[in-house]
C-alpha cells in the first residue's frame, strides 16, 4: 500500500487512539493489600521480661544449625556474638540505661532482647528475591531459604526491614543465612531448638493464634501479680511461677509490616531495644503495587509500539509512485 496523505492521516489517528487508550488504562495503580497469615501458621513468642540472658538459645541455635562461634573479646574464650551476622542467626542483646538497677525498666534499668527472623506474614525478602530462593510456606508460614536457587544478588538483604538475612562475605562459597524456624527439626516432630532449651519460657513455640492469645493474657494481668508461664510450647504443662512484669502496651509483630509470626513482649519500648517503629502496610505490598503499575505501563507502551509498527508497515510504500 502506498503512503498516501489519506493513509497517513488514518494511521496517525489510529496510533493516537492506541496511545490515548494506553495512557488512560495505565494510569490507575493496581494496589495490592497485605497478605494474610496462613491459618496453621506457627511461630515464636519472645517475652523479654522472662528472659534471664543465659543465651542457652544462642548455643542451641548454633548446635542445630551448624554455625560457628563468634568472638568479640580479645581472649576469644567465649562465644560472644554482638548481633546476627554471617555466622549467627539468633542473638540475645542487652539494653542498659543509667544505673541499670532495674530489670525491664526503661530508666535506670536493663532488659534482654532476642533478634532473629520475624517470619513476616508478607515478607519483603520473598517479594524481592528474583529467583524464589526465599519462600514462604503456605501452611506453616515459615520463611525459608534455598541455597541451590540463590544467585547471590542480596536483594533480600536490602529488602528486609529488620536487617535479618546475612550474606557470608568471609566464605569461599557464600550464601545467605537466617533463622528458618528450625524447619528441619519440625520435620522430625521437634520444636525449634531455642524454645526447647529456654529455661524460663521466654522463647515459646506454637501456633501464632495461640501465641497471640497468650501474649494478650499476659498483658491483661496486673503487674506484680503471680502467674504461671509455660515453657517450650504454648499450652504445655511444663509451667513455672513468676511475678508479672510491667509490660508496655505493645505486642511487637502484631501489626508491623502486616504482622509477623514472631511476637515480642517487653517492659521497655521496642525502639529502645533495637526494633524499629514500622507502619502496618508491608513493603512487599507497596513495592509490588509499584511494580505492577510499572509493568502495566511497560506492557501497554509495547502494545502501542506494536500498533504503530503495524500501522507504519501497512503504510510503507512498496513502490515510489504517489497518488498525489
Binding site for ligand SF4 (CB under 6 A): 51-57, 60-61, 64-65, 89-90, 92, 112, 114, 116-120, 123-125, 143, 160, 162, 164-165, 178-179, 181-182, 192-194, 197-200, 202-203
Cβ 16 to ligand SF4, closest distance in Å? 45
Cβ 303 to ligand SF4, closest distance in Å? 35
- Residue 230 β-bridge partners: 239
Rounded CA separation 4/10 (Å): 10
Cβ 186 to ligand SF4, closest distance in Å? 9
Rounded CA separation 128/106 (Å): 36
- Of 157, 180, 181, the C-alpha closest to 168 is 157
Q: Which is nearer to ligand SF4, 200 or 236 (CB)?
A: 200
Cβ 103 to ligand SF4, closest distance in Å? 12
Rounded CA separation 178/224 (Å): 36
With left for phi above 0 and alpha for psi between -120 and 50, is residue 119 left, alpha or beta?
Answer: left
Q: Which is nearer to ligand SF4, 37 or 182 (CB)?
A: 182
Q: Which is nearer to ligand SF4, 22 or 143 (CB)?
A: 143
Cβ 29 to ligand SF4, closest distance in Å? 23
Q: Which is nearer to ligand SF4, 53 or 269 (CB)?
A: 53
Q: Which is nearer to ligand SF4, 26 or 144 (CB)?
A: 144
Rounded CA separation 241/226 (Å): 7
- Of 226, 240, 238, 145, the C-alpha closest to 184 is 145
Report the DSSP pairing between strands 166-167 and 176-177: antiparallel
Amino acid at each position: 500500500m502506498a503512503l498516501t496523505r489519506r493513509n497517513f492521516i488514518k494511521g496517525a489517528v489510529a496510533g493516537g487512539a492506541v496511545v490515548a487508550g494506553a495512557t488512560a488504562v495505565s494510569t490507575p495503580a493496581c494496589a495490592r493489600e497485605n497478605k494474610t497469615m496462613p491459618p496453621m501458621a506457627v511461630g515464636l513468642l519472645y517475652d523479654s521480661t522472662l528472659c534471664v540472658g543465659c543465651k542457652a538459645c544462642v548455643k542451641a541455635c548454633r548446635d542445630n544449625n551448624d554455625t560457628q562461634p563468634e568472638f568479640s573479646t580479645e581472649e576469644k574464650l567465649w562465644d560472644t556474638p554482638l548481633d546476627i551476622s554471617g555466622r549467627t542467626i539468633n542473638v540475645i542483646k542487652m539494653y542498659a540505661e543509667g544505673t541499670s538497677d532495674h530489670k525491664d525498666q526503661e530508666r535506670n534499668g536493663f532488659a534482654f532482647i532476642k533478634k532473629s527472623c520475624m517470619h513476616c506474614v508478607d515478607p519483603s525478602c520473598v517479594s524481592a528475591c528474583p529467583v524464589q530462593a526465599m519462600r514462604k510456606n503456605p501452611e506453616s508460614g515459615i520463611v525459608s531459604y534455598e541455597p541451590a536457587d540463590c544467585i547471590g544478588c542480596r536483594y533480600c538483604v536490602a529488602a528486609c526491614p529488620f536487617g535479618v538475612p546475612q550474606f557470608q562475605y568471609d566464605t569461599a562459597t557464600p550464601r545467605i543465612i537466617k533463622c528458618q524456624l528450625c524447619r528441619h527439626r519440625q520435620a522430625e516432630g521437634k520444636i525449634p531448638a531455642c524454645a526447647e532449651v529456654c529455661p524460663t519460657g521466654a522463647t515459646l513455640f506454637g501456633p501464632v493464634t495461640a501465641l497471640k492469645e497468650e501474649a494478650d493474657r499476659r498483658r491483661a494481668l496486673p503487674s506484680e501479680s503471680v502467674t504461671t508461664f509455660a515453657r517450650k510450647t504454648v499450652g504445655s504443662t511444663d509451667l513455672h511461677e513468676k511475678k508479672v512484669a510491667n509490660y508496655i502496651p505493645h505486642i511487637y509483630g502484631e501489626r508491623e509490616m502486616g504482622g509477623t509470626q514472631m511476637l515480642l513482649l517487653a517492659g521497655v519500648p521496642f525502639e529502645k531495644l533495637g526494633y524499629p517503629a514500622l507502619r502496618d502496610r508491608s513493603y512487599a505490598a507497596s513495592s509490588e503495587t509499584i511494580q505492577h503499575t510499572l509493568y502495566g505501563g511497560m506492557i501497554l507502551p509495547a502494545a502501542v509500539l506494536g500498533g504503530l509498527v503495524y500501522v507504519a508497515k501497512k503504510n510503507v510504500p512498496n513502490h515510489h509512485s504517489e497518488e498525489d
